[in-house]
Amino acid sequence: STIPNKIIGESKTIKNIISLASRAAKSESNILLEGETGTGKELFSEFIHQNSNRNNKPLVTVNCASLPDQLIESELFGYEKGAFTDAKSTKQGLVEIANGGTLFLDEIGELSIALQPKLLRFLENGEFRRVGGINTLTSDVRVIGATNKNLMEEAEQKQFRRDLLFRLNVITLIIPPLRERGNDILLLAKYFLTGKSSVRQPKKFSADTEKILLRYGFPGNVRELEHTIERAIIFSEGEEIHPK
């Protein structure tokens, strides 16, 4: 079975997307993971990498939202010694480190328009230049992008290059929000309850608490559920976790 223990769920929705992901993993195509914040896109990138023919090589993750433009470029493509004031030596970029493996670009919708052509060129032929470098280098990676934006809409508003989008979304997988996963909410809640309890005998949810969990919409998805359970463990008294 290819399902890793990291993606927890029995619902039809999640099983369906896991099955699509394992089929997609076997291809060499670039993959775009779409879904709301907190749905587990990074877990799916790991799952795809682990079930691909590249799983003996690195999986390298870059969060495109957490770094300014200049830093992202030198992180991705590396830099030559003397390219800028602090460049005391040549540094390999993450596209080189991921050679033979998978490059996961999280929050790819945040990548600036200025950097998009450089990424496009890399996706087209595996070629790139280090910042401050004149030599063209190559690296063979499979790219997985993840976004909570609608990149089609972004492309229509000229916020995202259409040609880059079509390079990325050869396969698009839409990770379902938690509210569409039915009883998985309780499965995950119990998983977090056990995992985050410091005692051997974890607390239990009262029946009313379970009803509330199933009724709630979870705009922050699995991440929100995880933090909610963590707080409940700390603030609940006694063996049972009640609605309050």
What is the 8-class DSSP label of residue 131? B
Question: Residue 2: what pLDDT?
Answer: 47
Task: Read off the pLDDT of each residue in 234-244 and give the average, rounded to a whole number.
Answer: 90
Tell me the average pLDDT across 26-51.
96
Q: What is the pLDDT of residue 171?
A: 96
Say what the pLDDT of residue 198 is: 78
Average confidence (pLDDT) over 21-39: 96
Assess whether pLDDT exceeds 90 at residue 30. Answer: yes
Please give the pLDDT value at position 1: 41
Task: Look up tokens 């998009």; give the residue.
Answer: 116
Considering only 52-66, 85-99, 162-176, which range has the smallest mean pLDDT? 85-99
Taking residues 30-46, report their average pLDDT: 96
Given this model, what pLDDT does residue 202 score? 83
Q: Lowest mean pLDDT: which of 2-6, 28-32, 96-100? A: 2-6
Q: Compute the mean pLDDT over every residue in the chain, rounded to the nearest whole number.
A: 93
Average pLDDT over residues 114-136: 94
Any idea which of 3-17, 49-63, 139-153 has the lowest mean pLDDT? 3-17
| Gap between the Cα atoms of 81 and 64, Å rounded | 24
The whole-number average pLDDT for the span 132-139 is 94
Torsion, Cα of 122, 97, 39, 156 (10° steps): -10
The pLDDT tens digits of the residues spanning 39-91 come to 999 999 999 999 999 999 999 999 999 888 889 999 999 999 887 888 888 88
Yes or no: say if 224 and 217 are a contact pair by the CB < 8 Å rule.
Answer: no
Kindly list the strands in the beta sheet with 59-63, ordered across the sheet, starting from the edge strand earlier in the chain. Answer: 59-63, 102-106, 142-147, 31-34, 171-174
